[in-house]
Structure 1
Amino acid sequence: MRWTCAAGRGLLAAALIFAGSSVACSSTGGETHDSDGRGQLTLVTGGDITGYLRSVLDDWNRARPAEKVTLVELPEAADEVRAQMSTSLRSGSDRYDVLNIDVAWTSEFAAAGWLSPLNADRFPTKRFLPPVVDTATFGGRLHALPYVTNAGLLYYRKDVLDREGEKPPHTWAELERLAKTVAPKYGLDGYAGQFLPYEGLTVNAAEAVQSAGGSVLADEGARVTVDSAAARKGVAFLAGGVRDGWIPDKALTYKEEESRKSFQDGRLLFLRNWPYVHGLASRGDSKVAGKFGVVPLPGPDGPAAGILGGSNLAINANSRHKESAADLLSYLTSEKVQRRVLTEGALPPVWADLYGDPALVRQFPYLPTLRESVLAARPRPKSPRYEQVNLAIQAVVHDAMAQRETPEHAVERLARELETIVHQD
């Protein structure tokens, strides 16, 4: 049941003050409800750094005051967002009607029964980039709606490669050669991604394994498939880079922002990161503004099979206002709002047509490359126990990259740990 205003006031106060909204209470102390599945909504999300979402919701609230949306922003850190959301959902609370969740959480939340399945015919999913829809499905059903997508890109110092008469790499071998030979000539580190043991390392590791032709799990988390020659090849690519020095030791402490700053401050030849880096690295205070380019991530023999990032919108299974919530999902995934997701939020939209819009491509020149990367990407390993899977992957791969374990032994160990996770009662 939904928390009463008295019970929830203390815990909600900080978030609601920050969101500039309040909860409407009835004279009995409970929140008012409609009996037809319609009424006011609460949307919970991680921190909205750009502030665009508030403006988008303001337009909804002016048009539909009886279904006003209160925005609750949790901390920016993904693990804290997941912890707070899952605690609320696990308790059976209907405090949150709509959840903006990381794409990797969809299978876990759906398997727990926390999400209300969606009628796919109600939403324009055929207009979305096809791979993003897969992030929102579990057990053959649509449990969320793609809202923002993402795929890793390779940023490179175009000025340096041009001076050397070199083209950006399309394979791992080319990346390694350039990182080993060109970077030192210019006092640069070779290559970095997100290699601290956290969610980012899971993404980088899964990209390497997938690009080598392997996988971590299959059958929506029911079968462990990581013990393969392809997985060993992927882990060996990352571990070998650190061993041979073209991935610097300091990169083992990098998350998104640390790696971005290293590239943006002119200390790195190649960077694997998300599209948001493009705008920041192009600003006047960037040491690489006008000096870098972007291409798809390389793989063993050509473009990589990347990992889809982004977020999905889901409806709390205990929400009393599911009809209003479904209308809000339709609004937030409409072409008009999706355009604002890109232009005001600098986030990659899920609508396919926007990636070929000439005006948007002029403003965001990486869009064609990003579209290519998204179409080649796949979701992170799906599992009802995703958080345990995530922790196992990042811990084992970090040990391999830190040279504490060989790639062969690391993959064997990861397979054992995942078998325990998958088959636990």
Structure 2
Amino acid sequence: MRWMHTAGRGLLVVAVVLAGYAGFTDRTGAAAPRGRGPMTLVTAGDLTDYLGPLLDDWNRGHAGERVTLVELPDSADETRAQMISELRSGSDRFDVLNIDVAWTSEFAAAGFISPLNRDRFPLKSFLAPVVDTATFDDRLYAVPYVTNAGLLYYRKDILDREGQQPPRTWAELARQARTIAPEYGMDGYAGQFLPYEGLTVNATEAVHSAGGSILLDDGARVAVDSAAARAGLEFLAGGVREGWISPEARGYKEEESRRAFQDGRLLFLRNWPYVYSVANAPGSKVAGRFGAVPLPGPTGPGTSVLGGSNLAVSSHSRHPESAADLIAYLTSERVQRQVLTEGSLPPVRAALYEDPALIRAYPYLETLRQSVLAAEPRPKSPRYDQVSLAVQAVVQDVMALRQTPQEAVARLSRELGPISRKG
């Protein structure tokens, strides 16, 4: 999941009543309050090792509600599969789930996670768009924990040498990638174009930037067969045809594309905010020589897809009250500051993006804030995994120039229709 840099993924909706849990005893044999006790937090691999100390702080103040961290594989697909396997079995092994924002609808519709009381969490203190990723069917099923939005990284030193500003539109990006990059022996532009979740993200950003949508109404209505969606896919197909998206870029995930940019082989890169710190680290060939701006669109700034993760309470948890308190702790302003400073992850608290000390330490925060505020969630659907696979297959054919954008949106509309109608 790379903490949802991918950029960060029927079933019957189950109403879960948090009250009424049978009482239990703690390890001393004393009766514990109903719904309270030790917990397990499950997540994809903690690549920056910051989460353990945060949980240690919690444990020092909550002797009867200690939390154990369970780390699953780094791969988003493997993490999702293992979580679902446990939840489908009815296991109460997990209490709090750190899930990709794209999984919230799927997990909620399946009854894997419990609805939450909105009044228990300071949602108005969060960046507004991130809250939408935690809802399904007009109910709150999770709480935003980490956010993400795609940024356009560019070689500032090269554009300065050419006397040009970073692109604000697709046309400017295409022109600079096509004409400037070859002069320096570089490829023009790359995103995450291998057929996996990253390709769904990149394609959705292109469609949204053109003013289109893939699904509406929490996955109940297909909207992809539109002029805007065709324009978004044409942006990607045009880059391949004209050569400013190289054949090699069609095999990139996050890290392959980051390394290409960091090694000086790319003029422009679409990727998540983590690249800023990594590419400025000692030993990087581009340290101090690049900048980041919002993604471009047809006539101005485009629309990123929201990445990140949400925290949810398993519907099988024996200790949902403790689980909700742990979520409140992890989304508090103090801990969210540590999420940024210790984990190098974008927080969800709006005030942190205006903190002068943090802005000095993380100069990209204002750009990231703009991108998050303009961002939109991936298509919401109880069957998001099927939606994403369909998008990947179609866009792969578009970028291989096997299918035109017009043919592709018609095909995708046909394939998504049965998925959206499943009961």
TM-score computed with the length of structure 1 as normaliser: 0.92
The aligned runs of 1:200-279 (5 Å cut-off) are 200-279=198-277
| 8 Å Cα contact 1:45/1:101 also seen in 2 | yes
- 1:299 is paired with a residue whose SS is coil
Task: Compute the RMSD of aligned alpha carbons.
Answer: 1.4
Give unpaired runs (5+ residues) of structure 2: 1-24
Is the 8 Å Cα contact of residues 100 and 312 (structure 1) preserved in structure 2?
yes
Q: Which residue of 2 aligns with 1:149?
A: 147
Distance in 2, matches of 1:38 and 1:254, equals 45
Q: Distance in 1 between matches of 2:156 and 2:326?
A: 43
Letter of the structure 1 residue corresponding to residue 278 of structure 2: L
Deviations 1:281-304 (A, max 9, x none): 001211000100110000001111
1:337-379 deviations in Å (ceiling 9; x for gaps): 0000000000000000000101001110000000000000010
User: How far apart, in 2, do the equivalents of 1:26 and 1:109 lie?
Assistant: 30
Which residue type is aligned with residue 309 of structure 2? Answer: S
> Where do residues 19-418 of structure 1 align in structure 2 (5 Å cutoff)?
34=32, 36-418=34-416
Cα contact 1:75–1:81 (8 A) shared by 2: yes
Percent identical residues = 71
Residues 119-138 of structure 1 show CA distances to partners (whole Å, capped at 9, x for unaligned) of 01111111000000000000
- In structure 2, the CA distance between the partners of 1:220 and 1:33, relative to structure 1 (3 Å rule), is farther
Q: Distance in 2 between matches of 1:32 and 1:74?
A: 33
Query: Separation in 1 of the partners of 2:118 and 2:51?
Result: 24
Cα drift, residue 388 of structure 1: 0.2
SS at match of 2:206: helix
Q: Which amino acid aligns with 2:285?
A: K
Q: Deviations over 1:177-196 (max 9, x none)?
A: 00000001111100000000
In 1, Cα distance between the equivalents of 2:402 and 2:130? Answer: 36
Separation of aligned partners in 2, 1:162 and 1:32? 69
Q: State whether residues 33 and 320 of structure 1, in contact with CA within 8 Å, keep that contact through their aligned partners in structure 2.
A: no
Q: Secondary structure at the match of 1:177?
A: helix
Residues 34 and 321 in structure 1, CA contact (< 8 A), matched pair in contact too: no
What secondary structure is seen at the aligned counterpart in 2 of 1:403?
A: coil
5+ residue gaps, structure 1, are 1-24
Whole-Å Cα distance in 2 between the matches of residues 32 and 196 of structure 1? Answer: 55
Report the Cα offset of residue 278 of structure 1: 0.3
The amino acid that maps onto 1:249 is: P
Distance in 1 (alpha carbons) for counterparts of 2:82 and 2:96: 14
Give the deviation of 1:328 after TM superposition: 0.1
Displacement of 1:305 after TM fit?
1.2
Aligned mates of 1:190, 1:371 — CA distance in 2: 26
**SS in structure 1 of the partner of residue 116 of structure 2:** coil
Runs of 4+ in structure 1 over 2 Å off: 31-35
1:34: Cα distance to partner?
4.2
CA distance in 2, matches of 1:86, 1:421: 19
Q: Equivalents in 2 of 1:32, 1:323: separation in Å?
A: 18
Deviation (angstroms), 1:243: 1.1
Query: Shift of residue 424 of structure 1?
Result: 3.2
Cα deviation for residue 35 of structure 1 reads 5.4
Question: Residue by residue, what CA displacement relative to the aligned partner does 1:40-76 show, whole Å, maximum 9, x if unpaired?
Answer: 0000000000000000000001111110000000000
Aligned length: 398
SS of alignment partner, residue 196 of structure 1: coil
Structure-1 separation of matches of 2:141 and 2:422: 24
CA distance in 1, matches of 2:279, 2:48: 16
Q: Is the contact made by 1:33 and 1:39 (CA closer than 8 Å) also made in structure 2?
A: no
Which deviations, in whole Å up to 9, do the C-alpha atoms of 1:20-42 show, x marking residues without a partner? xxxxx999xxx999451000000
**Distance in 2, Cα, partners of 1:413 & 1:255:** 25
Mapped partners of 2:163, 2:30: distance in 1: 68
Deviation at 1:422, TM superposition (A): 1.3
Indicate conservation of the 8 Å contact 2:170/2:296, yes or no. yes
Asked if the contact 2:26/2:37 (under 8 Å) is kept, the reply is no
Quote the offset at 1:199 in angstroms. 0.4
Q: Secondary structure at the match of 1:314?
A: strand
User: TM (normalized to structure 2)?
Assistant: 0.92
